[in-house]
Structure 1
Amino acid sequence: MPDAYFLPDYRTIRYCLMKHILHGFTLIEMAVVLVILAFLLGSLLMPMSEQMKQQKIRNTQQRLAELKETLIGFAIDKGRLPCPASTTNGLETAGCGDNTEGYFPWRTLSLNIRQDAWGHPF
């Protein structure tokens, strides 16, 4: 029996090795999980941003259609198109010419549409 006394206890060595391996493997697993989560979040956020962009385009198209109808009604009623506003206050400028640039006269036309979906004035 003295020979068995000098034999190494393989279960203890194996336990020590596995203990160190498991700790390192857990860190690797965590890194892999984080990479997978980042990939999934990135792939989900791209379609959402595209959907938001398409929604803004639709909103702006609806606003432009309403502005067009209002301009046509103003032209039929007054026999002319309104002069553009010189500032974003929405009031048309008096005495404009053919090549006048400016902002959409939303207040003159009794509208509350001032900006497109991105916040830029018409």
Structure 2
Amino acid sequence: MTADVQMQPVAAVPQRTATRWHDVCAYDDLLPERGAAALVEGVQVAIFRTFDGDLYALSNFDPFSGAYVMARGILGTRGGTPTVASPMYKQVFDLATGRCLDDAEVALPTFRIRRTPGDRVEVALA
């Protein structure tokens, strides 16, 4: 078997840039200050609704325990920043950025989330 090796650079193929939103649940299904887990394209996502109605989505994987439990975390604030504390070892993460406030080397992936005019909650992985 032989392989064709191309010596010249190939023109970049335009990438599709449209965001792919995934319907997760009704807004009213999310209880304030409680988390919910959703499976979106094989990714476990922890979704949170705060008392003031803001929505956040981040990875459900707790990097300290290795368990998918972040949706069961305890919501709060630290210095005015909305946070979730892992239910396992209590490390605190910034809901907006995913950054661990107890260990600067660790962060959770965050995902875009929105409330639609039809009162549905949607998440985008990229």
Q: Same fold (TM over 0.5)?
A: no
| TM-score of the pair, normalised by structure 2 | 0.29
| TM-score of the pair, normalised by structure 1 | 0.29
Structure exhibiting the larger radius of gyration computed from Cα positions: 1
Which of the pair is proportionally richer in helix? 1
Q: Which has the higher contact order (CA 8 A, sep 6+)?
A: 2
Which of the pair is proportionally richer in strand? 2
